Chains A and B, each alone.
Chain A
């Protein structure tokens, strides 16, 4: 036996676990090898030291601590299981799940029109829209208008300067701007439904801002609805105000006075918009906003004002709401580029309604006036594409003004579900007539 094999057997030999044959071999080797014999003695000594370690007494209260620990763990388990072990808890859990499922179902299936309207195609152009927080002064107007069009309210600005918002109606009145045609006007859908996700906001937030802008001159004399709404939208005073079929320049009213159309009338409004968009409006039925060319505002006669208020009150309930029209005034010399941009954003299914000075004239009689001040081009675009269009136009020139119809106030909601349903029904149309006035620099 070699020393290496011998030393492997020393431990077992110490415990007397070797067989007779191996034990004999090992003993013969140990008798003849002093090194292995010394190794065995040292190992035996070390093992004796280990075996001589005294037993350590455990703590006397070990059993009590074990019981305490068991009780503690039992309480923990019961606490965790308590919630789900009781029948009441299970019923509550099932009820909560049921409510969640019902809420989801109501939102998904009872508002199908809204879901269809929000297809990805509406949001695609918005991806390239930069943040409307441009630092340049010239872009501030654009940023505000884009936010208005999209329904995105800049809450930060409001928080920082609440006084500015209060002063907004007076300041935001159209500056000495070129005349703006305001044919049909209708309440815009609420801001929350205007376009892509980044533009959405609750209508209650967008509404006061839109109303507070006070930049909606013009009205139509053709329909009772326009006449009725004429007192709601302030018309800039000026010489042209007298042309407004007997209506003087309307005094600016409080923003909160704008009335919301009832949800029941929205279907009628939708149809009216479609009809108005398809046929050109005769010149005689159109009203023009008054250009404020530095002249003083003409005060409306009190008698006329009263008549208008009475007519508005009488027709407010049953008036069909006209189509949405957004007027953008841009100063640029890139006429062709503007036309191309408009065509890019124009809806394919909705052909161009009319254009003054361009491919076609919206109203033959209006051409002279319009061409004198600028070129008017009309396209139908989807409301969701509107912010993108504004941004693209801004690249081609300076946007002087953007006017859009007021948004309807949301109907009072009796419950959260009813509120959502009401807001969804208030979306009359996602097509907007965009009129772009091209003003030569």
Chain B
């Protein structure tokens, strides 16, 4: 099992996010730009993995940063800025997904092992021909299948596995961001991983049978 480094601010290495937040509170609008630049990748990837839609993820990322701008004045520094921002992002994602669930035509189709349509994402694979499981694993489109398996998890389990296995957050950070207990995080993460495994196994079996 490889160790993951959390996707954190890359461009703000010289300035901690908490310091940038303090500068913004003192009237430095440029600090906001630096924070957006530092967290644009983790926020966008969280949105993309949650929604499984590039355009909608872009819109959701903008919404997350707009909410951050509005709430930045209330940031007290009780937790790390990353945890605070992830909490905003998780709430925004949850709201968007619930709204999307109410609209039937935008509902993410249930994961049934059927190959989903490709997105406009750069490097998105084309249509997938039938192949053996070993070949399938070697193809890049497996990423899309894994992404689909994650994106079709129930709402309570999706952010946990994304934050832990994709974003590399600790259990404690996830618990703080989602506002739940550490035991809940452990339980949800365990169940989410099992669900992803079962879904991928279903694909393997489906592709293995002639």
Contact = CB atoms under 8 A, between A and B. Distances in A.
A313 B147 CA distance: 101
B142 interface: yes
Main secondary structure of the interface of B (DSSP, over half): helix
Interface residues of B, number: 45
Nearest to B66: A69
Interface string A65-91: 110011001000000000000000000
A11 B191 CA distance: 9
B161 to A, nearest CB: 7
B119 to A, nearest CB: 10
Contact of A49 (B2, B48, B65, B200): B200
Interface in A1-52: 7-8, 10-12, 14-17, 42-52
Interface stretch (B18-26, B54-62, B109-117): B54-62
Interface in B114-159: 121-123, 142-143, 146-147, 150
A100 interface: no
A62 interface: yes
Contact of B200 (A15, A46, A51, A63): A46
Contacts of A14: 1, 193
Interface string B30-74: 000100110011011100110000100110011101100100000
A53 interface: yes
B175 interface: no
A63 B150 CA distance: 28
B142 A70 contact: no
A151 to B, nearest CB: 55
B36 A63 contact: yes
B97 interface: no
A70 B40 contact: no
Contacts of A53: 49, 143, 146-147, 150, 166
A336 interface: no
Which of A8, A42, A46, A73 lies at the interface centre, i.e. has the most chain B CB atoms within 10 A of its CB? A46
A177 to B, nearest CB: 74
A340 B45 CA distance: 90
A372 interface: no
Contacts of B7: 55
A416 interface: no
A427 B54 CA distance: 76
B75 interface: no
B54 A11 contact: no
A17 B185 CA distance: 13
A17 B1 CA distance: 13
Contacts of B1: 14-16, 44, 47-48
A57 interface: yes
A54 interface: yes
Nearest to A58: B44
Interface in A143-163: none
Contacts of B37: 63
A4 to B, nearest CB: 12
A51 B165 CA distance: 5
A52 B196 CA distance: 14
Contact of B69 (A7, A10, A70): A70
Which of B37, B142, B194 lies at the interface centre, i.e. has the most chain A CB atoms within 10 A of its CB? B194
Which of B1, B54, B150 lies at the interface centre, i.e. has the most chain A CB atoms within 10 A of its CB? B1
A17 B58 CA distance: 35
Contact of B44 (A42, A52, A56): A56
Nearest to A56: B48
Nearest to B48: A56
B189 interface: yes
Contacts of A69: 62-63, 66
A59 interface: yes
A194 to B, nearest CB: 56
B190 A66 contact: no
A56 B47 CA distance: 10
A46 B193 contact: yes
B165 to A, nearest CB: 4
A51 B4 contact: yes
A70 B66 contact: yes
Given A51-B4, A54-B143, A58-B58, A11 B190 contact: yes
B165 A66 contact: no
A45 B201 CA distance: 11
Contacts of B193: 11, 14, 43, 46-47, 50
A49 B142 contact: yes
Contacts of A46: 193, 196-197, 200
Contacts of B49: 53
Given A46-B193, A58-B61, A63-B36, A12 B165 contact: no
A342 B98 CA distance: 71
A17 B174 CA distance: 15
A37 to B, nearest CB: 14
A66 B66 contact: yes
B152 to A, nearest CB: 13
A414 B54 CA distance: 69
Contacts of A66: 36, 62, 65-66, 69
In the complex, the 4 A-B pairs of residues with the closest C-beta atoms, listed nearest first: A11-B190, A58-B44, A46-B197, A50-B165
5 contacts: A17-B171, A47-B196, A51-B2, A70-B66, A73-B66
Given A7-B194, A17-B171, 15 more contacts: A11-B189, A46-B197, A49-B142, A50-B146, A51-B4, A52-B143, A53-B49, A55-B7, A56-B54, A56-B121, A59-B58, A62-B62, A63-B33, A70-B69, A73-B66
